[in-house]
Amino acid sequence: MGCKPAATPIEINHKLGDSKEDDMAVDRNSFQRLVGRLIYLSHTRPDIAYAVGVVSQFMHNPKESHLRAVVQILQYLKGTPGKGIMFKRGEKLTLEAYTDADYAGSIVDRRSTSGYYTFFGGNLVTWRSKKHNVVARSSAEAEFRAMALGICELLWLKIILEDLKVKLDGPMKLYCDNKSAINIAHNPVQHDRTKHVEVDRHFIKEKLDSGLICTPYVTTGNQVADILTKGLPSKDFQKLVGKLRMEDIHAPA
């Protein structure tokens, strides 16, 4: 309760991985209970989803460095106790998703982390930060997996809305900040260097050809899914959190 608040839930370019020999072990049960509470909290706090996903990877053998990372999440929450998602009435009933991937970000096994945010009528409804099950052979492969996950989420939301008799305005939008991945998705020509992403490429191309999905380019500075794939500087982090329509009820009017 007396800690100094932190500006972000996780450090930039953090090196959390298998601990060094001089890294002392901490009580596993208390570490697991604490991280378990943070996992529960992340269901309503998308701004800590990536940080919680990182520390939860070390619940089997936590060390001092992992505990310090958890403490930083608590310090961030100390400074933002009233922050939450604000839902507002939108002018258009549109479905949008922002997808991103951090290529080979894990120093333990060099697996990538992908994330997506989905918005309905401008309001944040679902999000996910997930470490890949296998190592990506290129940044394009990592981005394609993120795009495929985002499209699957959009299709699932579309089915729910159809059951509720809600008609969408225009095609669903999948925002990506990787022009190479967007170009490959639209290009029907096979290339040797893209064979390893062939399944995801055909899946995405099928949805593009049907007009169900469009893939506008978004600049890295406006890519809100960056929060779900890496640690960011305080200024960039706060800017992107604001784009999620997260507001602090304790902030002065």
Check the CA dihedral 146-147-150-155 and report its sign.
negative
Q: How many CA atoms lie within 13 A of 28 on its CB side?
A: 5
Total domain count, the chain: 2
| Same domain membership, residue 184 and residue 106 | yes
Report pLDDT digits (tens) over 213-243: 998 999 988 999 999 999 999 999 999 999 9
pLDDT over 90 percentage in the chain: 48
| Same domain membership, residue 112 and residue 48 | no
Q: Is residue 184 part of a domain?
A: yes
**3-state secondary structure (DSSP) of residue 242:** helix
Q: Give the pLDDT mean for 58-64.
A: 91
The residue out of 84, 103, 131 marking a domain boundary is 84
211 sits in the region (left: phi over 0; alpha: psi -120 to 50; else beta) called left
Q: Is residue 61 part of a domain?
A: yes
Question: Cα separation of 200 and 198, whole Å?
Answer: 6
| CATH code: domain of residue 187 | 3.30.420.10
| Same domain membership, residue 204 and residue 117 | yes
Q: Is the pTM of this model over 0.75?
A: yes
Q: Is residue 247 part of a domain?
A: no
| Same domain membership, residue 102 and residue 66 | no
Query: 211-223: b or e for each residue (b if 16 or more CB lie within 10 Å)?
Result: eebebeebeeeeb
Q: Is residue 167 part of a domain?
A: yes
Range of the domain at 30: 1-84
Report pLDDT digits (tens) over 191-211: 555 555 666 777 888 888 888
